[in-house]
A and B are shown apart, each in its own frame.
Chain A
Amino acid sequence: MATETDYAIEVDKLTKRYGELLAVDGISFTVGKGEVFAFLGPNGAGKTTTVEIIETIRRPTSGKVILLGMDVTKKKHDIVHRIGVLPQGFSSFDRITVRETLQYYAQLYRARSADIDGLIGLVNLHDKAGEQYKNLSGGLRQRLGIAIALVNDPEIVFLDEPTTGLDPHARREVWEVLQGLKVKGTTVFLTTHYMEEAELLADTVGIISKGKIIAMGSPGQLIMDNANYQVLTLQSVDDHAFEILRKSGFEPVHANHSDIRIRVEPTDDVLKILNSIKDAGTVYHGLDVRRPNLEEVFLKLTGEALSDGSAGER
């Protein structure tokens, strides 16, 4: 008997072992209903393994995953009716058209009432409805994948790297679809390599590294907790300035050929820096002060940059 809770997903001491390799090391977290949860981690961190256990594709070695009040290892058949999945590296039947593909998946769910035209409209594929899958570009394929994940009007949607390998324009188009889901109140579990994506869409971000959750919270909270400073960038500044700043006790780094970047903790430091440059008679042609982003938080916590590779992970 399924028990309804406030959580869409509850993960408790989840472990997954492949022989000697411990891919997921006793992680626990929850995702609230209607929440957009972004799951981040470097390649090989255990991200996809975790998602695939939650999606019922893999079985855990130990621990528990409860989806909408149901245990994933015991209630798979009931769960699959209520979730939608876009697996990593999604692909479909080459010679089947967009419309036929959606009809096919709708029939698997016995979803007589599936609004195929509505879904096609939602992912903006009207012009391509009669096109075979093999003729679609990467962005169009991902949009079709998202439409498939929504064909049964699921309560939770899992999107495993939905924008990996897409150009910025196609990526933005996918984001628009995801924002639409957020407005609709669908719970979205998103794994991604793109910090910008997580910052823009997620209510909560979980960061996994070496099989363990190392940080969890809203993007703003994570930044506040882990990167409470400002970044000052001076543009087209000469080498002399670099030395002056070092002597003044700052830690400038070269951003690109003529830009330098300085981490400033109290905001007053910005003025100090500008004054010392001015006093030395050095000029700069532009400046920028900004809050750090999730990318920097991620770098600080994991010691690794999020790679933009399309390579899969276990």
Chain B
Amino acid sequence: MRGMNLRGIGANIVVKLRCFYRETTAMFFTIAFPIILILVFGTIFMSQDNVAYHLCLQDLDQTKSSVDVVKTLEEKGKFKITRVDPAVDAAQYVRDSRVNLVLVIPKGFELSLMQRMIFNNLKASVTITYIYDPSSSSVATKMEILNGVLAGINQEMSGKPPFARSVEKSILAKKYRFIEFFIPGIIAMAVMTLSLFGTVDLDTELRQKGIIRKLSTTPITRSEWILSSILYQFILAVISTIAMLLVSYAVFDVNLHIDAWLLMFILLDVFAFVGLGMILTRFAKEAQSAAAASNAISYPMMFLSGSFFPIELMPEFLQIFAKTLPLYYVNEGLRAAMVFEDNMAALRYAAIIGVFAAVVFILGIVASKWEEDQ
């Protein structure tokens, strides 16, 4: 049994890293692209964490009681309120001012309130009207918040303590923000694209240039070449992940748990997608078709496996589909490790992606050939 040609493996890694380092555009897209994604989406999600909805309100009653209701809405619903002149037509106002909702407190609000409170007249009630534009996406959320505040007011007026109360008890050690959910997904996705496209691009280029043919006449073996490719992609993945984490900590002050699981999932991610890349390179005749096949595989994975948003937001059939995608298990595994600090879940996901990676990688080795023909 011959020993591994470690010098050869090292030489391959160094030569590839040199090529990468000197190819500035490739380096920019590999390192900078995921960081740009983090900055863009991070900024959007950060503002959502401290969201205050804008509410237009028309007070037709103009009494102390109606003003109190407005105050309650401001405090409990965290609305920024714009007052609409009682003289204008609220529906017309919605159309003209391009706002999506106007809440109307009717005339006689205080009077009805007095009748209910002082004379206990159960027939006395008021109707608060929401005039809204159903095509706006945030209107449903606003109405839900408003209903909640109004239910609270009704409950208080009944004078009896509420029967069912709710207490929030998170199963997580700490509360996490959306950005913390998002970053493991971006790491999983970035490592996938890096490994898949890196393998396909480099292998087809080297094959077309005849470098693989030349290498097959040297003592480096196919398995040593593949091992050096894996290690090279792993080094790039680690560099890219460190860059993403540094930006996330510096800009968004994220709170993520970093331990050996992170390295483990990066490694499995690399194995799975380098293996897939090797299979594609073998079966795609032209460089373009290999690139097209990588796109066809990576795009659905990027958008449907829950890298950018939780798959629970998708229809059920897509959720089932998402669970067939290997990237889903890397996403969830990284979240289990970095966000939820759940080792058992991380182990479960690692086992699934590990089996996938092993199968694909073995197929990749079988598929990739040193010799030029059968």
Contacts and interface: CB of A to CB of B under 8 A. Distances in A.
Given A57-B372, A95-B23, A109-B219, A90 B8 contact: no
B8 A58 contact: no
Interface in A62-104: 77, 80-81, 83, 85, 87-96, 100, 103-104
Interface stretch (B84-92, B207-215, B245-253): B207-215
Q: Which 9 A-B pairs have the closest CB atoms?
A: A107-B11, A91-B209, A95-B22, A85-B217, A108-B218, A108-B8, A108-B220, A107-B7, A95-B19
A55 B370 CA distance: 13
B72 interface: no
A93 B211 contact: yes
A110 B210 contact: no
Given A57-B217, A90-B210, A104 B7 contact: no
B287 to A, nearest CB: 14
Contacts of A94: 19
Contact of B2 (A77, A92, A108): A77
B219 A80 contact: yes
B231 to A, nearest CB: 15
Interface string B210-248: 110111111111000000000000000000000000000
B210 A91 contact: yes
Contacts, number: 77
Given A77-B2, A104-B11, A109-B218, 17 more contacts: A56-B217, A58-B373, A81-B219, A87-B213, A89-B210, A90-B214, A91-B209, A91-B211, A92-B209, A94-B19, A95-B18, A96-B18, A96-B19, A105-B218, A108-B11, A108-B219, A110-B7
Contacts of A81: 219
A263 interface: no
A103 B14 CA distance: 11
B366 interface: no
B15 A80 contact: no
Contacts of B23: 95
B5 interface: yes
Interface of B: 2, 5, 7-8, 10-11, 14-15, 18-19, 22-23, 209-211, 213-221, 371-373
A59 interface: yes
A77 B18 contact: no
B15 A93 contact: yes
15 contacts: A52-B372, A56-B216, A87-B214, A87-B217, A95-B18, A95-B19, A95-B23, A96-B15, A100-B18, A104-B11, A104-B14, A105-B218, A108-B218, A109-B219, A110-B5
Interface residues of A, number: 32
A57 B216 contact: yes
Contacts of A58: 371-373
A151 B220 CA distance: 14
Nearest to A85: B217
A59 B8 CA distance: 24
Nearest to B5: A110
B209 A107 contact: no
B371 A59 contact: yes
Nearest to A18: B373
Contacts of A57: 213, 216-217, 371-372
Contacts of B219: 77, 80-81, 108-110
A309 to B, nearest CB: 17
Contacts of B210: 87-91
A70 to B, nearest CB: 14
A30 B10 CA distance: 38
A85 B214 contact: yes
Contacts of B18: 95-96, 100
A100 B16 CA distance: 12
Nearest to A105: B218
Nearest to A151: B218
Contacts of A105: 218
Nearest to B11: A107
Contacts of B22: 95, 132
Contacts of B15: 93, 96, 100, 104
Contacts of A100: 15, 18
Nearest to A83: B217
A126 B207 CA distance: 29
Nearest to A91: B209
A80 B7 contact: no
Nearest to B208: A91
Nearest to A132: B22
Nearest to B14: A104
Contacts of B221: 77
A109 B18 CA distance: 20
Contacts of B14: 104
Given A57-B371, A100-B15, A108 B5 contact: yes
B217 A110 contact: no
Nearest to A145: B214
Nearest to B209: A91
Contact of B8 (A55, A91, A110, A132): A110
Contacts of B7: 107-108, 110
A240 B145 CA distance: 111
A47 to B, nearest CB: 15
A313 to B, nearest CB: 13
Contacts of B220: 108
A18 B372 CA distance: 12
Contacts of A85: 214, 217
Most buried by B among A18, A57, A88, A89: A57
